[in-house]
Amino acid sequence: MATRFRLLFICLGNICRSPAAEGVMRKLVADANLTDQIFIDSAGTAGWHTGKLPDQRMTAAAARRQIPLTSRARQVHPSDLQSFDLALVMDHQNLHDLRSFDPEGLHKQKVRLFCEFCTDHPDTEVPDPYYGGPEGFEHVLNLMEDGCKNLLTHIQKSLLTP
């Protein structure tokens, strides 16, 4: 079997944005019958919520779209930069935090902003919905569905490239 593509989504606490991205991507990957070829995980730059399930408001919003969110929060580790093929962060602060693990820039090409894959929305960052209302969670999911479909196409092309 070919090596699996390893994908990591990163936000601040790993209870809203990155688990939503993980859930959306898992669904798309499963629908494309690629679960044996693409490994998906998420993490947070902070460890406050380690071991917790995703935020209930995000879980409910995702469930309305038939997207299960079942991951447990974990903090990103410097070794993640070595073991993942692509690490997508939700905002510029996450980008700064993650790049601090790689001062020599050895893995710089692996760390990108999630919104680079969005084509239907002009956002450059995924806003944190934690302190907002329900519309924030819906907006995040809209961004995730937009970016993840394009991300899947990107990964499929890389899997086919020798």
Residue 11 designated active-site: yes
- Would the CA dihedral through 114, 118, 122, 127 be positive or negative? negative
> What is the C-alpha to C-alpha distance for residues 136 and 39, in angstroms, rounded to an integer?
27
Q: Which residues pair with 44 in a beta bridge?
A: 11, 75
Question: Which residue of the set 17, 74, 118, 146 is catalytic?
Answer: 17
Of these residues, 55, 80, 91, 128, which one is catalytic?
Answer: 128
Phi-psi region of 121 (alpha: psi -120 to 50; beta: other; left: phi over 0): beta
Annotation says 80 is catalytic: no
148 tagged catalytic: no
Catalytic residue among 11, 16, 115, 148: 11
Which one-letter amino acid corresponds to residue 72?
A: R
Active site residues: 11, 17, 128
